Structure formats: C-alpha cells, structure tokens
Amino acid sequence: MNNMERREALRGACIAVIGGIFWGLAGVFGQYLFAYKGLNARWLVSVRLVLAGLLLLTTVYLKQGREMWKIWKDKKDVFWLILFAIFGMAGCQLTYYSSVELSNAGTATVLQYTAPAIIMLYTAVRAKKMPRLMEIGALVLALFGTFVLATHGDPNSLAISDAALAWGLTSAVMMAVYNLLPLQLMKKYGTFCVIGWGMLIGGILMCVFTKPWHVIGTWDFQAVGAMAMVVVVGTVLSFSFYMEGVRIIGATRASLFASVEPVTATAATVLIMHTAFTLPDFFGILCIMAAVLILSIKK
C-alpha cells in the first residue's frame, strides 16, 4: 500500500467513524427531548421518519431522477419494501427510542448492539452450521454483558426497568431485521433509495396512530436544535458519511469503525445528560462492545 492508498484508507476510516458518532448523538438528543421538552418516543419517531425520509429521497431524486420510482413497479419488491418499512425501519426506531425514553441513550444503544450476535445465530441456524468457537465466545460475551448491564451482577434485581430492558432487547431483534430484510432491495435499487422509502412509509404508517399534527412538548430554540440533530445529523448525515466510508474502505471495515456509535452514545449521555454510570455498567458495555468487535473482525 503506497502513501496515497494509506491516506485514502485513513480518510475512509475517519469518515466511517464520524458516521458512527453522528448515529450515537441522535439517541442522546432524543433523550434530551424526552427529559426536558416533554416529547415521547412515538411522536419523535413518527416525525423523524417522515422528515428524514423526505430529506433522503430528495438527495436520491437529485442523483437518480425518476429512477427512484422504479421500486414501485414490481409488486414483489413493494411487498418487501413495506415489510422493511414496518418491521425494519419503524420497528427498529420505535423500540430503540422507547428504550432511550425509559433508560438512557447509552444503555439503549449498547443493548441494541447485541444485534450482531442475533444475526450470527440466525445465519448459523439458516445455514444449519454450528457457529465457530470465536462466534460462540462473542455470543457468550454479549449475553454476559447484557446480564451485567441489566442486573449489575445480582440476578434477583434489575438495574434498569424491565420495560427498558425489554424494549432494548427487542430493538436488537429489530436491528437484525433492519440489516437482513432489505439486502436484495438495496442491491437492486441502491441503499439510499430503499432507506428513504422505508423511512417515509414507516413514518406515514406510524402517523396514523400517533397523530403528530397534535404537537406535544415545549418548543423553543433548544428543542428545534435537538430535533435537527436527531433528523439531519443523526439520520441524513450519519448515513451519508457511513456510506462514503463503505465506498472507500468497504463494508466490513466501515462497520467496524462505525461501532464507535455505542461508545459515543455512552460518553455523550454522561457528558450532556449527566447520567451516572457505575463500574458494572461500564463492564457490561465493555463485554458487549468486545463481542461486536470480535464478530466484526471475524468478517
């Protein structure tokens, strides 16, 4: 690798890290809106999905023009797109932000990051193949880290509410669905097109139930700024930076660098929201992050 290639690889790594940081900040500013501005997860997610979907599709239209409508010409693809919008997109976002609302962004993000272990198990079952020793070790680490994070080592008590734990683990399942369900659609129509339509459809379907036109909470400059962080920085810019990182250094290495997301969410939760984490919390987070890194490096 010559100097130019090394510089390009470093640039790709930095861009992927920035994408992960932006994703991590989205949860923290969502927590801020819940704690100080009177919003709830259902309202925030429905509005976020619609606005972010429109912004992403605008960028798709500027690049692809009318090609962005091709996905609607195949009934089978429309079926999978709607499934992705409901379970992969709306389901993933709603469960994650519900966990944030009931606990904090750091804990919710780390719980969601047990998804790679779920994907590994699903892949092994589907292929009818036993996981390798390294994969089994990563799964044990993820389970142990979740146990420590949830109980602080005491199986008779929960360090977070049972509802927060349930939403957090469900968000991990939904994140696995989010990663697996749209793969063929993305290959055919492009990542931004599928993600944009998934967000918009999921958001519109949620709006039927949440009725976000009935505005809730306190809206001032701080609330608008936090909402912009959630929608623009935490969605549009994060995806843009991450996908550029994928283009430069490949999906495997980009996903490894983007794993800075839960670290960012935890650090920002402490610094911005002044949430106190104990030693068992950090130990549980370390175990889950180690599992994610093992599974990422294995690729």
Write down the pLDDT at residue 252: 66
Answer whether residue 15 is part of any domain: no
Answer whether residue 27 is part of any domain: no
Letter string b/e over residues 105-115, b meaning 16 or more CB atoms within 10 A of that residue's CB: bbbbbbbbbbb
Answer whether residue 161 is part of any domain: yes
What secondary structure letter does DSSP report for 161?
-
CA 85 to chain centre: 14
Helix ranges (DSSP H) in the chain: 3-36, 41-64, 75-83, 91-102, 105-112, 115-127, 133-151, 162-180, 183-189, 191-210, 221-228, 238-249, 251-258, 260-273, 279-298
Domain that holds residue 101: 41-296
Answer whether residue 9 is part of any domain: no
Answer whether residue 23 is part of any domain: no
The contacts found for 151-154 with CB under 8 angstroms, 24 or more apart, are: 152/278, 152/280, 152/281, 153/280
How big is the chain, counted in residues? 299
Answer whether residue 16 is part of any domain: no
- Tell me the CA end-to-end span of the chain in Å, nearest whole number: 21
46, 206 contact by CB (below 8 A): yes
Answer whether residue 127 is part of any domain: yes
Helices 238-249 and 191-210: crossing angle in degrees, nearest 10, is: 160
What lies within 8 Å, CB to CB, of 166 at 6+ separation is: none
Letter string b/e over residues 134-169, b meaning 16 or more CB atoms within 10 A of that residue's CB: ebeebbebbebbbebbbbbeeeeeebbeeebbebbb
What lies within 8 Å, CB to CB, of 102 at 6+ separation is: 160, 161, 163, 164, 167
CA 124 to chain centre: 23
Write down the pLDDT at residue 25: 93
Write down the pLDDT at residue 251: 65
∠166-43-227 over CA atoms, to 5°?
105
Answer whether residue 7 is part of any domain: no
Q: Which residues of the chain fall below pLDDT 50?
A: none
Give me the number of domains the chain comprises: 1
